[in-house]
Amino acid sequence: MTTTFIDNQSHDPLPKVWDENTRIGDMLKGKRGLVVGVANADSIAMGCAAKLRGFGADIALTYLNDKAFKHVQPLAEQLGAELLLPLDVTQPGQMQSVFDAIQKHWGSLDFVIHSIAFAPKDDLHGRIVDCSQPGFLQAMQVSCHSFIEMAHCAEPLMNPGGALVTMSYYGSDKVVKNYNIMGPVKAALESSVRYMAAELGERDIRVYAVSPGPLRTRAASGIDHFDELIDMARTRAPGHRLVDIAEVGRVVAFLVGGAASGMTGDIIYVDAGLHNVA
C-alpha cells in the first residue's frame, strides 16, 4: 500500500451527500485536516468529509487496505482530497506513517476526524459476560485506543484552535439491546474524550465525541437485529425520523470551526432528539 496524491481531475458526479452545487461557504477556508473512516459513500466519515470540504477545508483521507482502496479512491477524487493514505490501526507503524506524510505535505493540521469502530462478530453478537479477552482487546484497540494514538501523533502538528473529533453512540450511556460489547467500548471512548480535552486544553486543542443516532452504514450492519434498532429510533425520536450523514457532517464542521471555540470535552448528540426520550 502506498500514499496516493490525488490529481483532482475527476468529473464524475459527486456523492449524494454533497448536496451543494458549489461550496457552501468559506467558514473553514485555510483549515486542513485528516478524516479517517471513509469506506463508501454511505459512511459517516464521508458525510463529515463532504461537509468539511463544502465549507472550504482541505482534507486528507485514509483507506483500510487494498480491497477498500478501489471504493475510497473515487470518493477522494470527487471530494478533491489532497492525500489518500493507507491506515489499518492494528498494523504497527501505519499510524505514524500517516502523520509523517501529512507533516511532509502540509506541515501542520487543524483537525482530525476519527470514525472507525470494530468488534469481532462472535463477541459483538454475544453477551458481555461471554466476551473473549482477544475480542474485547481488539474492539478497544480499533474503536477507542486508536483515537488516543491519533491524538498523540497529531498533537505536534496541531495548530492553535485545532480539534479532534470521534464518533460515539447512545449505547455508551444506556443499555441498548444488541449493542453489547460496544457499549463499554464507547463508554471508554467518551471518558477518553474528557481526559484528552483536559490534557490538551493548554495547547488550545479541543476534543469532542459526536453521538449520531443509528445509521445504515457498513459498520453498523454488523450489529445483530440492526433493523429493529432502526425501527425503534424512528418510532421514538421526537420527529419520528432518522438523521443522515450530512446532518452529522454539518455538526462536525461546526465543531471544527471557530464558532465552537468555547466548547471542549463534550459529547454532542446528533440523533433527532432520540437520547432525550425515555
Active site residues: 169, 179
Spatial separation of the C-alpha atoms in residues 52 and 24, rounded to whole Å? 10
**Sign of the torsion formed by the C-alpha atoms of 7, 13, 16 and 22:** positive
Cβ 24 vs Cβ 102: under 8 Å: no
Place of cell 468529473: 11
267 DSSP β-pair partners:
209
Spatial separation of the C-alpha atoms in residues 10 and 79, rounded to whole Å? 9
Cβ 178 vs Cβ 224: under 8 Å: yes
For residue 136, give the C-alpha cell. 474485547
Residue 166 to residues 51, 69, 75, 236, 270, Cα–Cα distance (Å)? 16, 22, 21, 25, 13
For residue 139, give the C-alpha cell. 474492539
Place of cell 470518493: 75
Distance of CA 245 to the CA centre of its chain: 11
Collect all residues with Cβ–Cβ distance below 8 Å to 227 and sequence separation of at least 6: none
Residue 56 φ/ψ region, left for φ over 0, alpha for ψ in the -120 to 50 degree band, beta for the rest:
left
Which H or E run includes 211? strand 205-212
Q: Are strands 158-167 and 109-114 parallel, antiparallel or unpaired?
A: parallel
